[in-house]
Amino acid sequence: MAESSKEEGAVCVTGGSGFIGSWLVHLLLQRGYTVHATVKDLKDEKETKHLEALEGAESRLCLFQIDLLDYDSLMAAINRTIGVFHLASPCIVDKVEDPERELLDPAIKGTINVLKAAKECGVRRVVVTSSISAIIPSRYWPADVIKGEDCWTDVDYCKQKGIWYPASKTLAEKAAWEFAKENGLDVVVVNPGTVMGPIFPPTINASMLMLLRLLQGCTEIYEDYFMGSVHVKDVALAHILVYENLSASGRHLCVEAISHYGDFAAKVAELYPEYKVPRFPKDTQPGLLRAKNASKKLIDMGLQFISMEQIIRDSIESLKSKGYIS
């Protein structure tokens, strides 16, 4: 009997094996949830082993193999859950050969498939992981106004410049809001900045790779991709907060502060002078106004953001312990 009452409260995490996904699964298990986590390949230990090792996984974690474009595989994972966290979406900030196949289809069609399955399974609330990449680049935003939840990425600009990741996140989030409205599904969104911190998976994600490259002397300024950093634990907590807080609605910017990549790089150089961190101009993100308590909606829900300094320390210590740097 106890088992079924727990089962009634099960939640599904798509992209459960990823950087944010594993942290979210970890915190949900800690809180006593039963979790259905999705992976791309059940036979790949790089996707499953770190999840199976989490405390509580043995009794309350079920892994499901899915393809975002295969509706039936999603139905199997979402069936018998009351909440869904949709994190699975490709994150590629390097050059993309086939944007439709590599980024746009999995992001947009994948999101719609997840929401359809959630609706069909009677899920109470879906938390969609969007990104600051659905907020910037936004070239027509007034220069004297801080960017926030009411700001949207300029998709035409993205297409012109061939930057497909922000286009994919923006179109997927817009599709989610449209679906929610048309179908009466309760959807809330989290828009994290550049996510860093301790790594659970054996592989490295795009934003930690950015830090690794910076330590190795990379001079890329991520002009159209950076709006501020955030600790991976805070991102996972933000998902749980907006899921459990019934009054939560709309988008939730999730950064410790709105800052420039140059600010971040300067702090890395100050804390770790032993690495060859390049010097950058002060304003690497033209027109981006800095702001301390930019993520006000989440702060008002009780989230106390980990500082940039601590994010950097935790990230670099993790890169060291995983052998990416010495």
Task: Please identify every residue annotated as catalytic.
Answer: 169
The amino acid present at 309, given as its one-letter code, is: E
What is the C-alpha to C-alpha distance for residues 153 and 135, in angstroms, rounded to an integer?
Answer: 5
Helix 206-215 crosses helix 261-271 at what angle (to 10 degrees)? 60
Whether the bond into 137 is cis, omega within 30 of 0: yes
Residue 321, phi then psi, degrees to nearest 5: -65, -25
What is the C-alpha to C-alpha distance for residues 225 and 228, in angstroms, rounded to an integer?
Answer: 9
Query: Residue 324, class by beta-carbon neighbours within 10 Å (0-12 exposed, 13-18 middle, 19+ buried)?
Result: middle
Entry field: residues in the chain? 326
The amino acid present at 314, given as its one-letter code, is: D
What is the C-alpha to C-alpha distance for residues 141 and 155, in angstroms, rounded to an integer?
Answer: 13
What is the C-alpha to C-alpha distance for residues 31 and 237, in angstroms, rounded to an integer?
Answer: 11
What is the C-alpha to C-alpha distance for residues 191 and 252, in angstroms, rounded to an integer?
Answer: 6
